[in-house]
Amino acid sequence: MRAYVLAAEGARPAFTDVRAPRPAAGEVLVRVTASSVNPHDGLVASGGAARYLEYHYPVVLGSDLAGTVEAVGAGVDDLAPGQRVFGLVRERVAARGTFAELVAVPRGWVTPTPDGVDDATAGALGLAALTALRCVEAVDPGAGEMVLVNGATGGIGGYVLQLVHLRGATSIATARPGPEEDHVRGLGAAGVVDWTKGGLAAAVWALAPVGVAAVVDLVTRDRDTLTELARRVLTPGGRVACTGHAADAERLPGVRATNVVAEVDQPALRTIAELAGSGQLVAPITRTFALADVGQAFIALGQGATGKLSVR
């Protein structure tokens, strides 16, 4: 089958023919019809994920998937060939991926695609929606509380804004004026601050004079930077969730600080499916690329593209 592959350390990703996978016991073979690109995929493609993933070459790139069950392995009795599913590849080695015609994954990594949700939407949920769900669970915003979403313009941020809104909380998003601001407001942001002007904390205070109850940070990698921001904008007893492993609970006494890791399980995937199926969670797709042009999608992602970049 054709797949977008990293053949060896230091190689450039390229399309090539690889052996089609077969489902092992407990696995599902999916014919992939849609996917999307994530920053994690870019790290894997560049070799930058080697500090936390073991590479088993050739590495098929891609995390998200939507498609149709082609076959099931022994022990899988609740899915059948022809059934639509979506989900993601999430493991501690880089080997199998979804930028391919077929992928075999453990049953727990996929769930049925709801009726009324097309494959493009389902293929853009996966890693970003799961990470957003984990972030919002970590800060647990209540009705009427205010949440700062730092890094709101990307795929994860778009889902965080919607999930915060569904809880009855209010979000302040970081975004540039213009299309980025329009994008985050369209996804539920009540306030927007321009992070390019500096003075982020002061800008937040202008919109939230008593501070915010929680911070979801999707961009910061430096502990000093996030600690200072949290100290300046959080109300007493505030919460922080960070995807960049910069949350330092020891330096934030009285703050619940969580470094979010998007572990996949069926309850989380079913929650995402239910929200998408009911129309409460919308995939913030801004551009669509053919699978043959996935390299261009990586370039767009690296240039700071807004929203989710779909791959069909």
Kindly report, residue by residue over 176-209, the tens digit of the pLDDT: 999 999 999 999 999 999 998 888 999 999 999 9
Q: What is the pTM of this model?
A: 0.96
Mean pLDDT of the 126-135 span: 98
Cβ atoms 85, 72 nearer than 8 A: no
- Give me 172's structure tokens: 């302040």
When mean pLDDT is compared across 74-78, 136-140, 194-198, 307-311, the lowest value belongs to 194-198
- The DSSP annotation for 148-180 comes to EEETTTBHHHHHHHHHHHHTT-EEEEE--TTHH
Classified as helix, coil or strand, 13 is: coil
- Domain final position from 243, 259, 275: 259
Would 142 be classed as within a structural domain? yes
Q: Which pLDDT belongs to residue 92? A: 87
Q: 107 is in which domain, residue-wise?
A: 2-125+283-311
Q: Is residue 142 scored above 90 in pLDDT?
A: yes
Tens digits of per-residue pLDDT, 218-265? Answer: 999 999 999 999 999 999 999 999 999 999 999 999 999 999 999 899
Tens digits of per-residue pLDDT, 7-35? Answer: 999 999 999 999 999 999 999 999 999 99
pLDDT averaged over the chain?
97
| Separation CA 233–CA 245 (nearest Å) | 19
Would 272 be classed as within a structural domain? no
Would 276 be classed as within a structural domain? no
Confidence of residue 299 (pLDDT cuts 50, 70, 90): very high
Whether residue 34 sits in one domain with residue 16: yes
Q: Which pLDDT belongs to residue 198? A: 82
Would 265 be classed as within a structural domain? no
Name the CA radius of gyration of the chain, rounded. Answer: 19
Confidence of residue 51 (pLDDT cuts 50, 70, 90): confident
Tens digits of per-residue pLDDT, 168-178? Answer: 999 999 999 99
Report the CATH number at residue 73: 3.90.180.10
Whether residue 121 sits in one domain with residue 136: no
Mean pLDDT of the 284-294 span: 97
CB atoms under 10 Å from CB of 57, counted, come to 12
Tens digits of per-residue pLDDT, 146-165? Answer: 999 999 999 999 999 999 99
Residues in the chain: 312
Whether residue 227 sits in one domain with residue 178: yes
Residue 214, H or E segment: strand 212-217
Cβ atoms 124, 64 nearer than 8 A: yes
Cβ atoms 119, 87 nearer than 8 A: no
Classified as helix, coil or strand, 49 is: helix
